Structures are given as C-alpha cells and as structure tokens.
Structure 1
Amino acid sequence: MTMNDSQGRAAAAAGTATARTGKGLRRDAAENRARLLRAAWEAFAEHGADAGVEEIARRAGVGMGTLYRRFPTKDALINELSEVIFESILEYARMSAALGTDRAPGAPSGLEESLFHMGEVMASHHGCLARLWQASPPPEQDERRTELWQLMGQMLDQAKATGDVRPELTLTDVYLSVLALRSLIDDTAGTGPDLWRRYLEVVLAGFRPTPGARPLAYQPADDTLVTRGIPKHRH
C-alpha cells in the first residue's frame, strides 16, 4: 500500500461522505452547501470555534441569506460539518477494512492507516473538536458509530493475525488512543500542527509486538467503554 493509495482512499472517502450528506438537493443548493462546508472547514481550522458565520459566507462566496437558508444557526452548520467529518472517517474505515490483510509486505495495517486518517481529519478541525464531538448523537442512538467501532475491531483482529500489533491489545486501548489524540490535536494544533503525528507514531510503536518486551502490568478495561462512549460534558 503506497502513500498515494492512502491519499486516494481519503479523497474518495471525503467525496462520498459529502455526497451522502447532501443527497436530495437541487444542483445549485448542493453546490452552495458544499462551498459553505468547505469554507467552514477552513475557517474552523484557522480560527477554531470562534470563526464567524460572516467569514464563512465570505469564503464560500455566498450571501448571508444563502447561508441562513441552508444553516439557520451556527450550531446547525457545526452539526452538518460533524456529519461530514464522521462520514469521511467511517467511509475510510470501510475501505480499509475491506482490504483485509491483502497488503504489500511492510505496508501499514488498516488499523494504522485508519488512525492516521482520523488524525488528518481531526487536525483539519482543531479548535472546535469539542463542539463537533458534542454535536454527535449518543452512542446508543448512533448505528454508524457502532459500525465504525466494529470495523476498527475487525482491523484490530486483522493486525493481530499479521503480527502487526501485540496480541493482548484491546479495542478499548485503540479507542482511548483516539480520545487522547483528539485532545492533543485540540490543545496543540495552533502552535504545533504536526505534533499529533509524532504522538501517534509513539502510540503505534507501543502497539507493536517487540521481542523481549516487558508484559503490560495493568489489566485492560472491557469494551463497554467503546460501546457506551465517554459521558459528554455539557457547558
């Protein structure tokens, strides 16, 4: 698996996600929606959650009336952006899991590629990840979230089968690494936009089996944390 393969899958995932969440619209309305979401993506990446809707409309090249027809409130825009982000992550995971273990020798596992893709997507939205996180429905009401973590579990099993990760690694270990990655990106992307890459490399190095490595001293948590999620903090 080459970097171009990975980038191609990421572009395909983003395109599919945008198309799915914008289906049923007239062509001009769909184009305006896509421009507004692209502009919101860029504005939130630069300014965080403080980015104003006027700036988003200006970047998109549309009037405020067009913006408000599509997204009556800023929260509605954030909710829609959350949908696109999640669909992009989910679509990429689907494609990576479908490849299974059919990868070139030495190529990253699907699990590793999917985690780096999550990092790329989250890094594009630094400063508002907490709000985007809050916009998602509770785990028990979101079948797509269940599917995502089923796919991550499938890729974890594939990585174990090929010897790419420690046999005792659990899905909860992977889930907690994503939560930590999200917090790190939100805290450091403004001053060190690529720090998350180093952190994720260190985490993945810990995932891999190492001859003579000391066994993990602490018992893993069961996977109910994954299925139920972390309680959301309301402000």
Structure 2
Amino acid sequence: STCAAVYKAIRLGQPLVERIVTINGAAVAEPGNIFAPLGCLVDDLLAYCGLKEVPARLILGGPMMGTLLLHGRVPLVKGASGILAFTAAEAAVPEAGPCIRCGSCTRACPMGLLPLEMAAHIRAGDLDGAVGYSLSDCISCGCCAYVCPSHIPLVQYFSHARGELSARERARLRTEAGKRLAEARLARLERDAREKAEVAARRKAERTAAKARSGTVKPEEETT
C-alpha cells in the first residue's frame, strides 16, 4: 500500500486520497480488503461489507495497537490499516489475575524492557520507579499484554502512567510559568516605583533650582 502510494505520487502526481483497508471481525458479513477513500466514515465501510449484528467493539487499526472507537462516526485516516468489528464473545475481556513473574512479557517485548517491573511500580503508585525502568521507551505494541497468562492489562497500565506523568509535567510547567509571571510582575512594580521616585526627585530638584535662579530660596534653605 505504501509503495503503491509512493508510485502514484511520484510517477502519476496523484496525492494520497485512498488506501487499502482490512475490514474484519466476527460481526462483519463479508470481511475483506477494500480500497476506501480517506475521510469515509467507519459506519459507511461497515455498511458496505455488511454486518451480521451490531458490533460490541470497534477498533480502528490492528488488534495490537489499534484505537478503540466509541462509535462508527469516525473518518478513515491515512494511518488506519484496518477496521475490526468484534462481537460480544470476541470483545469479552478475561479477568486479570496476579502476576506470576513468568517472564513471558519480558521475552516478548521488542524493546527489551521489563514490563512486569514497570507494572509493579505503577500499581504501587511509584511512577518515578517505572520511569527508571525506561517507561518512556515503551511503544505500546501490546505484545506483553497479549502473551501474559494472567491477562494483566499491561498496556493500559503503561498508557495510564504516561498520561499521569504528562499531566504532572504540564502542572509543573504551569507552576513555573506562574512563578515567572509573578516574579516579572513584582520586578515591574519595583521598577515602576523606582522610576516614579526618580522622577519625583528630579522634579523636586528642578523646582529647587528654578527657585534658586529666581532668588526666592531663603539662605537657610540653600545651606540645607
């Protein structure tokens, strides 16, 4: 699909206006690969392929890294490779059990991370500890959660932790920005007060000099 899009763009001068999309899932009557125009609604593509029943879950993208859709009134974008329409049986999520530290997630991780350690720190509320295990290097591929025999939602843990860290960083930046604004305001007020005092002193000196030139200043005032 990417090679075809590059060929059309370079040789034919045609922009990317459509792409091949895989429509699949037990709720789809006729699954398959179709050419779909970008911007077409997910509901329209599902209607084109037909539905056996109302999908219990819609995913835009693949089963590992796709995005869960709350409804089908979402346009197709160039990065979407597929649409999955799951039935209630397919969408059922097994209940998560305790980690048995089997190491399956570690072996499956393409980034060489330790998902079990990161998840343990996140469950304990120690986000900094999870960062110490390279949480930021996680690509959310879902391999660890897929192979976990305890069905622990590891990807959700990591996404939640990154969201909390991002929120904490935004709060820190807002605090620092507010502090800088307060310091700038205080400096401006001090500068204005200093300038007003200098202007008042200069005007007083000018008035005194003017009185001295006109001879209206008393001798004792001149000595003082």
Query: Could you say whether these structures have the same fold, taking a TM-score greater than 0.5 normalized by the shorter chain as the test?
Result: no
TM-score, scaled relative to structure 2: 0.22
Larger radius of gyration: 2
TM-score, scaled relative to structure 1: 0.22
Higher strand share: 2
User: More relative contact order in 1 or in 2 (CA 8 Å, sep 6+)?
Assistant: 1
